Amino acid sequence: MYSPPFPLDKVLAYCDLRRPVLVNNLHMQPHMMDRRQIRNLLDQAGVPTPDAVFVDRDDGDVVEQRGENGDTLVVKNIKRKKEFAISKPFVEKPVNPEDHNVYIYYKGGGVRQLFRKTKNESSRLDPSEKKVRTTGSYVYEEFYQPAECADVKVYAVGDFFYAQSRKAPHIDGVVDRDPTGREVRVPVVLSGRELEICRKATTAFDQFVLGFDLLRGPGDKRFVIDVNGWSLVKNSDEYASRCGKVLAEHIVALLEKGADLPDPNIPTHNRSSRLQSAAQQPSSKQTSELFDPSQESTCVA
């Protein structure tokens, strides 16, 4: 997933103009920058996600907590004159997927605040807090206790899905590390049904390389709870060799289909007139506004 200040508009304009071989569909990136859109795309593709309600404070949504200990959250969408409700335990996720301050609210009270790992800590419990955050927009998702207290992280490369489990950060907030200091991760074998869910997830985003989190809930409940964009696995020889093979075959297949690649024999400064004439074509109007051919080498980098 790209994050600001990466110049995505400029890169998309470059791709439209030069049509390089793309492993992932970059045009999907803007749809992966909001957890609501990510969920909607998953839902449309038939990927199971936990039930959720959205709070959009920019749109004037009003939030109330009802019942003893504020266990029921009611969201009033004033414009649409509609109300949505969800009961604890639930997970409060900022709409921006780059914001990792995810909070879990327990029935009767208590909030577990998750954050980006700092040394050996991944979350902290406030046992008395009952109220949700009062600023910002969020997705509120049903909380499911994960099987074996673990998150399942899936790394897709085409139709190859590699999965690892790690202790879920809300269990005790302590990061388990091996003697070399790396977070402990255990390879996971995905079932046929899980693989089917994984395939649907990569198709939903049209991504060849994609990382996402699968929640193994009670019984046979399975959900995709987070999509992370381009992700690769570190420190697994098995993954590295299969990933390399699948990626290489895919790129060769794309090249065989005929890609319009920049000619490496033409120096960048000699290419600018060709680029300018292409940029002036009517269909490239937006492209010519965004993409300055003199900066081509920067864009390629």
Under the binding rule (CB under 5 A), the answer on residue 183 touching Mg ion is: no
Please report whether residue 56 would count as binding Mg ion according to CB under 5 A.
no
How do beta strands 160-167 and 150-157 pair?
Answer: antiparallel
Exactly one of 92, 141, 226, 296 binds Mg ion (CB under 5 A); which one? 226
Residue number of the CB closest to Mg ion reads: 226
Q: Which residue is nearest to ligand ATP (CB)?
A: 226
Q: How far is the CB of 287 from ligand ATP (least distance, A)?
A: 32
CB nearer to Mg ion: pick between 226 and 296 = 226
Question: Given the rule CB under 6 A, which residues bind ligand ATP?
Answer: 50, 91, 93, 97, 100, 102, 114, 141-144, 151, 168-170, 213, 215, 225-226, 228
The 3-state DSSP class for residue 3 equals coil
Cis? peptide before 5, omega within 30° of 0: yes
Beta carbons of 280 and 288 less than 8 angstroms apart: yes
Q: Cβ 253 to ligand ATP, closest distance in Å? A: 30
| Closest CB 151 distance from ligand ATP, rounded Å | 4
For residues 115 and 100, what is the distance between their CA atoms, to the nearest angstrom?
5
Q: Strand, helix or coil at 41?
A: helix
CA–CA dist 14, 290 (Å, integer): 8
Is the CB of residue 158 less than 8 Å from the CB of residue 246? yes
Q: How far is CA 100 from the centre of its chain?
A: 11
- Min dist CB 256 to ligand ATP, Å, is 35
Residue 13 interacts with which of ligand ATP, Mg ion, none, CB < 5 to 8 Å by class: none
